[in-house]
Amino acid sequence: MLIEVGHFALALALALSLVQAVMPVWAARSGDGALRAVATPAALGAFACILFSFGALTYAHATSDFSVLNVIENSHTTKPFIYKLSGVWGNHEGSMLLWVLILALFGALVAVARDSVPPTLRANTLAVQGLITFVFVLFIITTSNPFTRVNPAPAEGNDLNPLLQDFGLAVHPPLLYIGYVGFSITFAFAIAALIDGRIDAVWARAVRPWTLTAWSFLTLGIALGSYWAYYELGWGGWWFRDPVENASLMPWLAGTALLHSTVVMEKRDALKVWTVLLAILTFSLSLLGTFIVRSGVLTSVHTFATDPTRGVFILAILILFIGGSFTLFAWRAPMLRQGGIFAPISREGALVMNNLFLAAACATVFVGTLYPLLLEMLTAEKISVGPPFFNYTFIPLAIPLLLIVPFGQTLAWKRGDVHAATQRLFAALAVALVVGLAVLALTWGGPMMAPVGIGLGAYLVVGSVMEIVSRARGYGASRTRGAAAIWRRTVGLPRSAWGTALAHAGVGVVVLGIAAQGWATEGLKTLKPGESLASGPYVATLDRVGPRAGENYAETTAFLTVRNAGGDFVGTVETGKRFYPSRKMTVTESGLLTIGASQVYASLGEVLPEGAIGLRLYYKPLVLLIWLGAVVMALGGAVSLTDRRMRVGAPARARPKSLPSDMAAAE
């Protein structure tokens, strides 16, 4: 019964989202304020209905209701409870329902947000959001219904793919979807502005918190996915350049560019058309990211199911939203008034460069992912575009981008001074050079690029710290003296300044982690109990091989003791092969021993009859920095979100009189 009500609630949400999409537009034509106000309750109603619907499906999964096809296909009575819950979105139908749930949640949030968005802009935004919700709910109801019943119900389900039975992957999709879907709001705002034919700093201010939220979650989602791939797929890589990973990287790159161009628009009323274009692009890439995976064009581990009718529907959705929005853009963008002029050397100039390199990186990933498909379609020639291609093209774009970061923060708006900026960045540049050269000297004969990366990472981290320090101290004549005064200024810095510094430092931390992988080592050997294998500064000894039982699997485990080069005990690590009888699948479970930010990574190979095993042992120096850095970046986004002007939306910040005026200029 609950299932049917859930299904019905989804149909109700379809109707409500149609109301949400149509009424504001109608109201704009007839000038009826009451009609326009209908959008808010419609958005809230659609969210409530989808939430109920999602709850019904979750209940079916939690109670293993095998009369529901979706539960049969993805659940099993012996499956641990947390994976029964995550199984709701571990499949195509359920993940689509989660997708629209987040979509409707964002719509409801825009409807009730108490910010200073003009009523017409809000109504138009809700209308666009309503249209997106309508189309996707229609997609679910017509092609991907999660509420299909089966009669008679079987006694047991088919279980969830064991690779997906993992905590990281239970949390990864919701985070990623909040990121993807969050950009739908920015998109809706952009389309609303195009319909209105008007865009200004108020628009940028209204959009910024949504962009920041989406970006922070997408950052976390991608990082979690990367960490999952690292420990679950068993060969120790942290980024595989899988088409699906590329698909999530593209909206991230475009979203990062968007985040920066909105800043320019808010502060200086410039880059309007470009910002609107980026907002459209980012969501288009999010759609592409979600659906290219499901359309079956790019097959990968992430492909849940490939179904031709869905493919056609998905293609129609992509054409409607991407094609439609670009057409609207081409038609209306020339009407948007350009504003704000600036010199090439200025904060704006640096942010434009940031956008240029991010756009180029995004285009490279885009072309690299789709080129083989196109080429095969047009000429029947088959080529592969793999990690080496991306390393050759992506890294040369990333290095200048990262070099600009501290400069951009230091330069003044409108017209900057490179010489003064360089002087202020002297500490960061010096530290980077010293660290880079010291590492190079210490590891002479090793990889050459890794010390460069370490230097670059140090430069970014120190540059961010220096930015806070110099803002707290003030520059030149207005330099603050006395610890108490400096403390007051430090505390008084806007949260967005702290957020920026944190996010940029996080990028530096990621770069440090990536660079350190240049010194990663790998050992490979067949071991009998008592024998050892070395990798980097650590030696692992095989103690024994034995069986171990889990809730819904049987595991053959290798127990290892890790010692350092001096023979001192460091820790133990276990790696195994898990056999899941319900799906007759074997999954390698790698063993991780964390030492500071570094890890020893053990992965079990073949298990030979006489108790010997094939063992792969990696030493991954500072590898955790890659994901910790991403967390720091997302934290920066969160801190920025708490900035006062995000909450009140006031056009000007009230400042205590004691603060020298150059702070306002530096901001």
> Closest separation between CB of residue 595 and another protein, Å?
24
- Tokens matching residue 205: 């201010």
Q: In whole angstroms, what is the distance from residue 61 CA to residue 74 CA?
A: 9
Q: Does 379 bind another protein (CB under 8 A)?
A: yes
Q: Does 154 bind another protein (CB under 8 A)?
A: no
Select from 173-181, 235-243, 317-325, 429-437 the region that touches another protein (CB under 8 A).
235-243
Per 3-state DSSP, the chain is made up of helix, strand and coil in percentages (nearest 5) of: 65, 10, 25
The answer to whether residues 459 and 428 touch, using CB atoms and an 8 Å cutoff, is yes
Q: Residues 87, 146, 157, 234: which binds another protein (CB under 8 A)?
A: 234
> Closest separation between CB of residue 608 and another protein, Å?
10
Q: In whole angstroms, what is the distance from residue 378 CA to residue 374 CA?
A: 6
The answer to whether residues 214 and 258 touch, using CB atoms and an 8 Å cutoff, is no
Q: Does 382 bind another protein (CB under 8 A)?
A: yes
Q: Residues 15, 51, 233, 328: which binds another protein (CB under 8 A)?
A: 233
Q: Does 356 bind another protein (CB under 8 A)?
A: yes
The answer to whether the Cα torsion of 62, 67, 70, 71 is positive or negative is positive
Q: Residues 33, 80, 344, 546: which binds another protein (CB under 8 A)?
A: 344
Residues 6 or more apart in contact with residue 566 via CB below 8 angstroms: none
Q: In whole angstroms, what is the distance from residue 48 CA to residue 44 CA?
A: 6
Site string for another protein, 488-527 (x = CB under 8 A): ------------------------------------xxx-
Select from 35-43, 218-226, 382-390, 553-561 the region that touches another protein (CB under 8 A).
382-390
Choice between 531 and 667, CB closer to another protein: 531
Q: Does 145 bind another protein (CB under 8 A)?
A: no
Q: Does 470 bind another protein (CB under 8 A)?
A: no
Q: Residues 107, 162, 474, 591: which binds another protein (CB under 8 A)?
A: 162
Running DSSP on this structure, what letter comes out for residue 556? E
Q: Does 303 bind another protein (CB under 8 A)?
A: yes
Q: Does 71 bind another protein (CB under 8 A)?
A: no
Q: Does 158 bind another protein (CB under 8 A)?
A: yes
Q: Does 242 bind another protein (CB under 8 A)?
A: yes
Chain centroid offset of residue 530 CA: 44
Q: Residues 59, 235, 238, 326: which binds another protein (CB under 8 A)?
A: 235
Q: Does 179 bind another protein (CB under 8 A)?
A: no
Q: Which among 422, 278, 428 is positioned nearest to 345, based on CA atoms? A: 422
- Tokens matching residue 80: 């641990």
Sheet containing 554-564, strands listed edge to edge, beginning at the edge strand earlier in sequence = 532-535, 538-549, 554-564, 569-580, 585-589
> Closest separation between CB of residue 398 and another protein, Å?
11
Choice between 352 and 507, CB closer to another protein: 352
Q: In whole angstroms, what is the distance from residue 411 CA to residue 93 CA?
A: 49
Alpha-carbon dihedral angle through residues 163, 165, 169, 170, given to the nearest 10 degrees: 160
Q: Does 389 bind another protein (CB under 8 A)?
A: yes
- Judged by CB under 8 A, the chain residues 560 through 589 that form the site for another protein are 577, 583-588
Residues 6 or more apart in contact with residue 331 via CB below 8 angstroms: none
Q: In whole angstroms, what is the distance from residue 247 CA to residue 121 CA?
A: 31
Compute how many other C-beta atoms are within 10 angstroms of the C-beta atom of residue 619.
23
- Tokens matching residue 106: 């964002």
> Closest separation between CB of residue 73 and another protein, Å?
7
Q: In whole angstroms, what is the distance from residue 157 CA to residue 377 CA?
A: 40
Q: In whole angstroms, what is the distance from residue 338 CA to residue 268 CA?
A: 11
Choice between 39 and 385, CB closer to another protein: 385
Q: Does 238 bind another protein (CB under 8 A)?
A: no
Note the residues at the interface with another protein (CB under 8 A): 73, 158, 161-163, 232-235, 237, 240-243, 299-301, 303-307, 338, 341, 344, 352, 356-357, 359-361, 363-364, 367-368, 371, 375, 379, 381-389, 392-393, 396-397, 524-526, 577, 583-588, 603, 605-606, 614, 616
